[in-house]
Structure 1
């Protein structure tokens, strides 16, 4: 049976955070910057996160389960 191969192009463009979010860099921030405003150029530097609805598509392309991003912690009651 053949192995599942992840999408290498997607692997180069995203990072998975520890909490399960998909982090990526915005487009249009590298070339032809002279006509763009400073506010727009600064916004390109900020990391972008994929919408949670896209998590299923990303996990299918990577053949890897991506967590929901919500950590469930149980508080211990002190007696």
Structure 2
């Protein structure tokens, strides 16, 4: 039986932590930071956990 290939788009966008959580970058982090409050910019810089509804499909894309 052949090995499953990892989806190359998914491996650039998601990462799996040591405990098994799937993390992703938050949106709205490209430009126009001077219009946003410092606290919102800091909040956007942290990774977020993928929702439970999407977890199964993303794991399949990552070959996990």
Per the shorter chain, which TM-score range? 0.7 to 0.9
Which protein has the bigger helix share? 2
Structure 1 partner of 2:54? 54
Displacement over 2 Å in runs of 4+: 1-4
After superposition, where does 1:24-63 map in structure 2 within 5 Å? 24-63=24-63
Greater RCO structure (CA 8 Å; 6+ sep): 2
Is there any run of 5+ residues in structure 1 with no aligned partner, and where? 65-79
TM-score normalised by length of structure 2? 0.80
CA distance, structure 2, for counterparts of residue 16 and residue 33 of structure 1 = 28
Is there any run of 5+ residues in structure 2 with no aligned partner, and where? none
Q: CA RMSD in A?
A: 1.7
Larger radius of gyration: 1
